[in-house]
A = this chain, B = another copy of it.
Amino acid sequence: MNQPGTPTMTTQTQTCSSEEKATIGIGLLGLGTVGTGVYKLVNRTPGLDVIKIAVRDPGKERPGLLAPDQAKLTTHVDEVLEHPDVAIVVELMGGMDEAYRVIKQALSAGKHVVTANKMVIAHHGPELFALANAHQVNLLFEGAVAGGIPIVLPLKVSLAANRIEQIAGILNGTTNYILTRMEQDHGLAFETALADAQHLGFAEADPTADVEGHDAACKVAILGSLAFGKPFSPKDVYTEGIARLTPADMAMADELGYRIRLLALAKPWPSSDNTQGYDIRVHPMLVPADHPLAKVTFENNAIWVQGDAVGETMFYGKGAGELPTASAVSGDINLVAASLASHQSDSPCGGHPTQHPGMRVSFASSTPHPIVPIAETTNAYYIRLTANDVPGVMGALGMACGDCDVSLHAVLQKGTDEATNSASIVLLTHCVQEGKLQAALDRIRALPQTRDVQTVLRVFDSI
């Protein structure tokens, strides 16, 4: 444990004659829940020393802050960025524009940067990685995807020899919590499950970013970029949320042997053997009940990675939260610190900050690589509709599908409503191009027997 207030020796001030082991100076931007967690973990790590902490309100009560560190607080970000003893800047301010500006400034000043900011990495990653490379410093972001779950480092290093065939992630804890509740409390409406999640602190007052899949889209754009070495923009990621799912869908999925999960997918298109593009998207899917992803419940996250050598592998854990995210951020800090310490011992009298070998991110272009349009992707589908309960309905549905090259895997008629003379029908298709499926849906909607197409979902892991 470092003694706060003790003079520290840093990379910049180190002298050759000293026998003392140098410490690495840390500058914190933000001291919210994650920041406080990082502060605690850094404080118990030998060789690291928090030099300066930028906060919005220095007068706020902070029970986690050691008394002597009160003097390290500042409202001026520049005091952190320009402090000569700060070697690693840890950005935990949140938001996008200011965080982006600050990270850019830090990298340009030759500081290493560790961040958990998925928005900045997803939207400005290529520019910032290029800047980091130009200045030979690290920009690490393990905490930006799936909280405490180590996925960036394994994907970047451990699985580097693989051609990645598919990534399928449950990357948003809020939506997984809501789906698990709806799955376990039969009949529970989306709105009620969301309200419960908000009450428990698993969902924000404005849940749009989570519920509509935008949060997961940022994260899967980052994972896709790491896996395929191309920059992808989250704006190009096709996104559907979970707000329109009903208890009837949960019940039907269960009966068919599936669970519904909001999955973030990234894969080469049309296949890893013949890569012509990349298929990256976020939407709810039917997942076979015995698949490991179907068993990920409540606020947990998981990332399923298939590689041509490693086969199928999965990383599971808490996707958010103060300490899990702080764990990931601190892992990155330790990695940079090890690199700096090793550099110091190599050339004690000089040298400049170096990038950690294996941690360099580089893309051939900073222009986002296009993503295959959803209409060109291939999926199996679940279609739930109501139709008039009259003879010939099944035949008409079958014809509508067949005319568009959509082949049916299963057809279920579940119950008829005598009062309205209607039948609830579920179709499960074989794999087909989305464009053809949409054409079939247009025909189905136009059938005189069709009352309403309620839900269309894609099916995971289908052939």
By the criterion CB–CB under 8 Å, are A341 and B357 in contact?
A: yes
State which of A153-161, A383-391, A408-416 sits at the interface with chain B: A153-161
Which of A317, A318, A358 has its CB near the most chain B CB atoms (within 10 A)?
A358
Closest to A351 in B: B346
Which of A142, A346, A351, A355 lies at the interface centre, i.e. has the most chain B CB atoms within 10 A of its CB? Answer: A346
* Interface presence of A192 (CB below 8 A): no
Query: Which of A8-16, A55-63, A320-328 makes up part of the contact surface?
Result: A320-328
Interface residue from B311, B317, B351, B357 paired with A342 (Cβ < 8 Å): B357
| Complex contact B327–A354 (CB within 8 A) | no
- Let me know if B157 and A153 touch, CB within 8 A: yes
Report yes or no: B295 in contact with A327, Cβ–Cβ below 8 A: no
Assess whether B357 is in contact with A159, with CB atoms less than 8 Å apart. Answer: no
Cβ B313 vs Cβ A316 within 8 A: yes
Q: Which residues of B have CB within 8 Å of A315? A: 313-316
Residues of B within 8 A of A354 (CB): 342, 346
Residues B316 and A158 in contact, CB atoms below 8 Å apart? no
Encoded as 1 (CB less than 8 Å from any B CB) or 0, chain A from 328 to 362 comes to 10110111001101110010000100111110100
Within the assembled complex, what's the spacing in Å between the Cα atoms of A307 and B325? 12
Residues of chain B within 8 A of A360, CB atoms compared: 338
Contact-residue bracket for chain A: 35 or more
Determine the distance from Cα of A150 to Cα of B160 in the docked complex, in whole angstroms: 11
Q: Hey, which chain B residues are within 8 Å of A312, CB to CB? A: 317-318
- Interface residues in A130-185 by Cβ distance below 8 A to B read 142, 148-150, 153-154, 157-162
Interface pair A316/B317, CB less than 8 Å apart: no
Chain B residue at minimal CB-CB distance from A329: B161
Q: Are A292 and B309 in contact (CB under 8 A)?
A: no
- Tell me which residues across on chain B come within 8 A of A331, comparing CB atoms: 157-161
Distance in angstroms between the alpha carbons of A330 and B343 in the assembled complex: 25
Is A70 among interface residues, defined by CB-CB distance under 8 A?
no
Listed A/B pairs (6) with beta-carbon separation below 8 Å: A42-B161, A154-B158, A310-B318, A311-B324, A313-B316, A313-B317
